[in-house]
Structure 1
Amino acid sequence: MRNNPLIPYVLIMAFGIGLIFFMSFEGAADKNSADGDTSGETVELSGEDIAKASCISCHGGDLNGQGSMPAIAGLDADHIKDFALNGSPSGAMPSILKSEAEAQAVADYISGL
């Protein structure tokens, strides 16, 4: 048993598995701090912030259209909210928001432009 060459490898493997196991718990605990949120509460973004993150890449920086994408600035809030939640019927625009509150905030911001 004293000269068994596998014992160091088995011990190193056991130590590595244990280390991975305990580090995964540490990572799960630090999940919110990686997002910058240490309070455990969700941070709500304004309609302008969400529109800048989600809409300007296709509809242009001023939301007045870009390339083949239509202008959306000043459209009806209900129309914008419906498209943000469900996408376009033709499938040209995917649904980009999942929350009713976010969609309403974005619709209010864009319709007010």
Structure 2
Amino acid sequence: MKKVMRFTSLSAILLLAACGGGGDGAEGGNDTDAPNANGEQIYENNCSFCHGADLSGGAGPNLQNVGDKYERDEIVHIILNGKGNMQKVNVSEEDAQTVADWLLTRD
């Protein structure tokens, strides 16, 4: 039983260490990929149903080259307020900005 508890404790510690913490960059690590990963995750959870997992569209328009049509602030505005048949998305302004930044890197 003690071996199982030690293994479980060690596994939990390794899992927590792998997930990181803080995320404030204080450790001097490279957080440049974090916004892209976060933007992609927010997109997958809130946008991919209509715009497609590969941004190619579906019920919503193709977003593969959305930066050719809209600036960052316009994309954020559309996410937060909707446009045409698109309902506003229930995300924070920060998340909308993260998704907009991520979308613009996809062009």
- Identify the TM-score tier after normalising by the shorter chain: 0.5 to 0.7
Identity, in percent, stands at: 36
Query: What are the Cα deviations for residues 27-75 of structure 1, in whole angstroms up to 9, with x where unaligned?
Result: xxxxxxxxxxxxxxxxxx8111100111110011101112x52111231
Matched, 1:57 2:49: yes
Greater relative contact order, per chain length (Cα 8 Å cut-off, separation 6+): 2
Number of positions where the alignment pairs a residue of Structure 1 with one of Structure 2: 67
Q: Classify 1:98/1:69 alpha carbon distance in 2 versus 1 (closer, same or farther; 3 Å).
A: closer
1:103 to 75, 93, 96: 96
Q: RMSD of the TM alignment (CA)? A: 2.0
Shift of 1:104: 0.3
* TM score, norm. by length of structure 1: 0.52
Moved over 3 A (4+): none
Letter in 2 for 1:79: E
Rounded to whole Å, the distance in 2 between the matches of 1:83 and 1:70 is 13
List alignment gaps of at least 5 residues for structure 1: 1-44
Q: Which residue of 1 aligns with 2:79?
A: 84
Shift of 1:98: 3.7
Q: Helix, strand or coil for the counterpart of 1:46?
A: helix
* TM score, norm. by length of structure 2: 0.55
Shift of 1:84: 0.6
Structure number, greater radius of gyration: 1
